[in-house]
Amino acid sequence: MPTTNISSIGTSSRDYSTIPSWEDDTDDNLVLADTVEVGACYNDSEFLITSSFSIVGATADATRHRILTAAAGESFIDHVNVATNDLNYDQSNGVGIRCNTGFVNLLLNQEDYCKVTRLQLKKEDVGSSRSVYETGNPGTNQSIQNCIVEQAGNGNAVYIPLSDLTTNCLFIVTKSGSTYAATRVAFNTTGMQNCTLVAPSDLADAPAMGLEANTSASSFVVKNCAVFGFDLAVTGTMDTTNSGYNGTDGASFIGSNNQTSLTYADQFQNTTLSGADFRLKSGADLIGAGTSDVDPAADEDIIGTPRSPYDIGCWQAPAAGPGYSPNQSMWHVFQSPITEWRVI
Amino acid sequence: MAEILIRVVEHRHSTPATAHLHIGAYEVVVIRDNGWPWSRKELNNPDWRVIRIPNTTMDALTNWTDSQLMEDGALVFKRVNRIDHQISQVQSIIDSWRTGVVNDISTGDRNKLINAVVDKRGT
């Protein structure tokens, strides 16, 4: 079984003071080395991306690859008040990575099986570019799980051609009148489950699209996703046979068993730009309206709350009564199939 | 002033076919403001050097870390620019840099380095 090397990233007391230096130092043949390289970010301060940042170059496969994540105890997921904090980008709650440079994608994930988890990412309103771009050349089967991604400028919050399943993420578009989809898919991307795609309800001009297939993505399956605040919830060719159990304020969605024409304000705690909080609110139509026929990665929500019954979106409303306790470690999100830990 | 972390050795697994996917020798990994708190591991990595560049800013050097993508997202170069170490006196400047410290260079050497930056797209 592969050895897992966990490297800390943060201030000078960590292994690396920048994410690009971790990326370059672990750019290796991970298959030959039989290792998983984990970049574990610490919330010593907000990470700033000021120029092109790509994860690319390492030779990887399904069991030997790179993972960029928050260190144990450092993610918004690990915050003591995670169940009551506003669900929105807030670096004071956990590791945040922000890009304030124009025409620079915040994170280009171009490497086979590279996984991004437990992070908050924000692209400022500077020059058209994406927050997360999992390009398909090179690299396939990249994934993003349990992340908050805010796109404040023109560009997609995430573009995922040829990627693996996208699960338990909140994608927020805060650019009024943006003509870019919150999530853009293409080709043979696997699908998206239990994600929330939103634009604040008080933007002067609603962004154009929530979910877009810009070329045929006929195998792309969308399940248990919430899409609100856009002119058009979904557009393009996707798998209509296997998609379903989504919720939207739009008039229609792909697949079956969808909840459509829902009232936006009835679903989330706060849908405005200044007070955004995309946790489900009591009585939301999305509660219990999802399907259990999802990947195991979606069996718990963005903060580790077990799903039963399955809500739509990244957030699972707490079950009534005592005993509710989100799994605040969520370290297991990337653990399997790790058997040996070696801190370097 | 600004500080750069520059790779001075090729990646071991880099081949001519995959070189465009890696940060190569004499290419900049990351640029930071003057006084950046580099980690011990970054300062002591034998493949890297940390250099303080006088009379400049992070913004002025940002093209040193530019990459190039095709319209469809295909990666052309992870780093578009590199320092041509074969230009007269540049190799001796690089050879003078040590691990374990932030290397200060003179304004004259800074000018030689800036003049030695080449765009790989034109080579």
By the 10 Å C-beta count (0-12 exposed, 13-18 middle, 19+ buried), A54 is classed as: buried
Mutation target among B67, B70, B99 for the A interface, most CBs of A within 10 A: B67
Is-cis flag, bond preceding A138, omega within 30? Answer: yes
* B-proximal residues of A, 4-43, CB under 8 Å: 11-18, 20-21, 24-25, 27-29, 32
List residues bridging with A343 in a β-sheet: A6
- Which helix (DSSP H) or strand (DSSP E) does residue B43 occupy? helix B40-44
CA–CA separation, A230 vs A173, rounded Å?
Answer: 9
Taking only the tens of pLDDT, chain A with its 344 residues reads 999 999 999 998 999 999 999 999 999 999 999 999 999 999 999 999 888 788 999 999 999 999 999 999 999 999 999 999 999 999 999 999 999 887 778 888 889 999 999 999 999 888 777 777 777 777 888 999 999 999 998 888 888 877 788 999 999 999 999 998 888 887 777 899 999 999 999 999 999 999 998 777 888 999 999 999 999 999 999 999 999 999 999 999 999 999 999 999 999 999 999 999 999 999 999 999 999 999 999 999 999 999 989 999 999 998 765 444 444 444 444 444 333 344 44
Would you call A109 an interface residue with chain B, using a CB distance cutoff of 8 Å? no
For residue B78, the chain A residue with the least C-alpha distance is A54
pTM: 0.92
Q: Which residues of chain A neighbour B41 with C-beta distances below 8 Å?
A: 15-16, 25
